Structure 1
Amino acid sequence: MDKVEEFLATLKSTILSTAPDSSLILSDRDGFVLGKLIDKNDSADKIIENSALSIFSTSTDQASKLYSGKNKAIVSYFEDRIVVHINVTNVILSIVTDTDSNVGVILGAQNDIVRSLNNLSNSIQIDLQDM
């Protein structure tokens, strides 16, 4: 298991333990998937297949123009799932969960998620410099 998948597994078991049936997708701003942890009962792969991940970066840039500061997250409610996109620098964490999940708890953990993503980003950059 590489660092990204290990990070996602740790994130799901600790910070996001209240949303056990969730899938996590880590991507860059262009929608390139860096790592994913897909729940076996979820159809989150469909989100990866279409352009939903790359559309988020455009949406968050537009939302940041509303003179309310930099957009940190966007929550989308669908008929059968909820998708929470959290924006950290040039990395986007997408959390796909069922409609029974408590989005407030996920968003409440946002600061911890951001700290963890910053640590992961730093460790990936160190590994790339060693190559």
Structure 2
Amino acid sequence: MNRVTSGLKLPQALSMYKFIPFFFFFLGTTAHIHAMTDDVLIDPSTQVQNILPTPQNLSINSFGQWIIGWGTGAEGARQRLENIKREDIIIIKQKGTTLEMIQLWQQYFEQQTVANPNNPTARNRAKLLKKIADLW
């Protein structure tokens, strides 16, 4: 009797483990799908930041606002363009910016202006960076 009772309980006890391989299979496919999703949904500004250098690998927003001082939007860049002086260039240099960085970002914003002529922010930032390069 013991043998029969224990014989019946053993398969029931093991039956709950038959789902474990499926669990790990689905866990693995979910992780794979998630990893693939991350590759597809990449922010374009992040890609640019990975290609173009900034001092201390700052984000483009931090670089533009804290180092270049272009403010927000087209108006902020236009105001900075009108007011930038040679003394400002010294500070920009002290913060780790190189002429090469300025020129690369200028080229990037010029390309953005060509790609989208209705983007006044890119146009004003390109002009500002050109003026900074000229004052360098």
Relative to the length of structure 2, the TM-score reads 0.30
- Based on CA coordinates, which of the two structures has the bigger radius of gyration? 2
Larger strand fraction of residues: 1
What TM-score, normalized to structure 1? 0.30
- Asked which structure has the greater RCO (Cα within 8 Å, sep 6+), the reply is 1
The structure with the largest helix share of the pair is 2
